[in-house]
Structure 1
Amino acid sequence: MTHDNPRFCPQCGHVLNLTSQQCEACHAQIDDRFMLKHDPKVKQATDNLIASFAASGSRRAFFKKGAVIAASGVAATALGAAFMPELSSAAARQTQAQTQASLKAGLQQKNQTLSNYKSAQDPIVTILTVARTAEQLAVTFYSNGLSNADKLGLKGDNLTYLQAALAEEQIHQQFFAANGGQSLTETFSFPHGPQTFTDLKTFIDTQQQLEGVFDSAFLAAIKEFAQLGRPDLAQIAGQVACIEAEHRALGRAIGGLSPADNWAFTPIYLGSVADAPALVTKAGYLSPKGDNSYTYKAVSTNVAGLEQTKPFAVSSSVVGNG
């Protein structure tokens, strides 16, 4: 049956039927909240996004007046709550509403300044914290994959690609940690448990899901950093997003998927970085138990041929990669 507006899997592009909850081709979970629809709301959302960038100057002034003070505490609370498996989309919307109310209340605190508060309350640190924790998940994933390279049949260039990817994820983790990102957890699970590291198809399916979410999260970070008046961090988030996209394409090549670079535009799964933990929890990455429990361990970043190991941004005030 043909439809005027067919649904496509945002992970691999496979045509879906109207009721699909999982892609038949790549087994990605389908959530219609993250599917673009052919209606006027899409154009309106794009217009609103462009307008938000145009308003960045007034938004910076707003934050300097103290609105960030009340909002940051709510953002940190929301971040912790997002890691709980029982978080629902309704709860997420309620958190967003509470944040907006706190922003409005923050206007009452004109005499307060950012210097009066700890940096851990800053919404920028919230983003860095989610990013650091996500990179720890990535390091854990690639570490266990490489530890089981023989079982997965990884060798030659394919093995080298993943060794470089692992080191790059570790470098990203070091950067976010050096700039104030906290570790929310170091123990993870995977949707298919131990099979993830014994079956190549399962390993690549998992890698594709993770890198797709990481890409989307860093795209959200670009927007949020820009709105917070930090174009330097926005640029670095873009640098990281580019590398995560490379990992995804290399994973498709390793898995024999063609074309390896099959996205013209990266799908947007997330409205904000703080939404990432709930999405990852729902997918099965934050429920460790029994033999499906994997702990992050830092790895060496000394990989032959690896270049550009420090971020760069014009007028940057960040520390570097530590």
Structure 2
Amino acid sequence: MSCADRAVALVIASMFLDWLLGDPRWLPHPVVAIGRLVAALERLLRRFVANERFGGVLLLVLVVGITAGTAWGVVRGAWLLHPAAGFAVEAALGWTCLAARSLHGESGRVAGAIARGDLPAARHALSLIVGRDTEALPEPEIWRGAVETVAENTSDGVIAPLFWLMIGGAPLSLAYKAVNTLDSMVGYKNERYLRFGWASARFDDLANLVPARLTGVLMALAAPLIGLLGRNAWRIMLRDGRNHSSPNSGIPEAAAAGALGVQLGGTNSYFGKPVAKPVIGDPLKPLDAAAWQGAVRLMYGSEGLILLFLGFFVLRGVTVP
């Protein structure tokens, strides 16, 4: 099996494991270990490194290096033991980088609570997957939070890990997850992390530069195949893709907003302070259960296009460069 063939098989196997098994709560997850490593190294570096920017650079290098190095050692050892063991271990590690089924399930708890008429439970479920204040959100805003989370994380939690998995196997995909975890933990623009988290935030922007745009394209291509608005997805992505504080997150959110015919963005509250953000998309349709269901279909449709693309090359016997 060539390196390209192995990469294709690895991506397909990891994708199916995620679809079948999701993220079992009893299974130790590498991202949890990465989070603990970040917290431990932050305490150490803040204690011994006076310059916050330099300490933040060291944190980025150490966390990503330790994560990738450990993953490479585990995978390499398994491959040396036996090719079947090597592939199984690498596919399992690749599976832990993907979050399609988990994202579906977590956002589904929000939808389920609204369907039962239990808005307090819906707000609590939403608070577990977004950073904004949720205590007083009305139903349409709860739906907006759920749709935005699925749209944004289709890139961060699905397409981007698959992209890096195909390029560099499980070690590179886990390195990406380390960068993503660093950004979620120290990439804040507040007094504590403005300087210390700068390197992690900028590197996360760089790591998502291509995957976010690939996600937007996949969403626009998938939309008409699953009964959504394909032309509108392209139009809104090109028009509103930059209406976001992140250079990347606006792309998949705009593609999803266009495909669904809804308007995302607007004012959110963080720690009791309202933060006004540009709107994305046009309010052609309401933010409701149908919008959330469409966002989930769009996530799986985008992932399915990658599977179809890889399957085409496998069946044709063409190796991916």
Give the structure-2-normalised TM-score. Answer: 0.34
Q: Which has the higher helix share?
A: 2
Q: Point out which structure has higher relative CO (alpha carbons under 8 A, 6+ apart).
A: 1
